[in-house]
Amino acid sequence: MTSQRIVVLGGTGFVGRHLVRRLVADGHAVTVLSRNSGSHHEEVFPPEVTLRDCNVYDTAALARALRGADAAINLAGILNERGDSGQGFRRVFVELTDTLIAACHQAGVRRLLQMSALNAGRGQSHYLKARGEAEARVKASGLDWTIFQPSVIFGEGDGLFCRFARLLRLLPVLPIARGGAKFAPVFVGDVAEAFRRALRDRKTIGQVYELYGPDVFTLAEIVRMTARTLGLKRLVIPLPDALGRLQAEVGEWLPGKPISRDNFRSLLTDSVGGIDGLHRLGIEPARVADWLPRILGVEDTRQRRLDRYRRQ
């Protein structure tokens, strides 16, 4: 594989940390841009990674950071915005994408890999609408682009199983909005591998890849599966939509927004795919069941218990 110089936006996030390590292992020279490349980020990445402070909304500054690169990867994203106007999502997805496209043209960088989301541009949520608008900007950019549309992503430290695990440890009863909403969770390692393979295959230029796993679960099944794996007996109550909307209204004002109005709107559209992008890229998808004990930190506990029994 030919070594490339790659600039990553959003590289300090969940997917970015996995992807950057793989790119470095492949021999690529990777620069991660951040508005705050503090020392805690240095502990996350291999020493070969260059961390660079950059105002990614400044076209000139971003173009300087991109100059000499072979490819740009945009992983920047948020799940919630301040308020509920859609402006927070538009800034992170649409405005940043516009800035990145302009900076790529200024710096002479042709290759762009863009993270999006399954159902981008569909449904009622500000999040999905902004994702879809960003995709449209990329497709009209004149660059050599590839777009990835993952379903909800799982892995160690994720915002899915790990997030529910924290709630389940605290609450004996967990009411959830849109418990029947469907997901096809995709493993973070498979998402990183999709980006990695696209970088080395020019046939992926101009393609959109839906990334989803082999198993479909409802949200209620995901929560109950998490409780079972943790060995917790919890009552999980799917709420009717009227109460689900009320829960989202309340969650809008709670610290960390455990659920927001826009989350509720996103849940109205099932996050399941139609054309298997992992298969198109030759990737065998990981299954949730094979990873869940490790993700939730119970795999080692079980092994230690078995080892203790053997010693006794």
* Mean predicted confidence (pLDDT) in 190-215: 97
∠ CA 147-84-56, rounded to 5°? 45
pLDDT over 80 at 306, yes or no: no
pLDDT over 90 percentage in the chain: 88
pLDDT, one tens digit per residue, over 254-286 is 888 889 999 999 999 999 999 999 999 999 999
pLDDT, one tens digit per residue, over 166-194 is 999 999 999 999 999 999 999 999 999 99
Domains detected in the chain: 5-158+184-212+272-286 (3.40.50.720)
pLDDT, one tens digit per residue, over 49-81 is 999 999 999 999 999 999 999 999 999 999 999
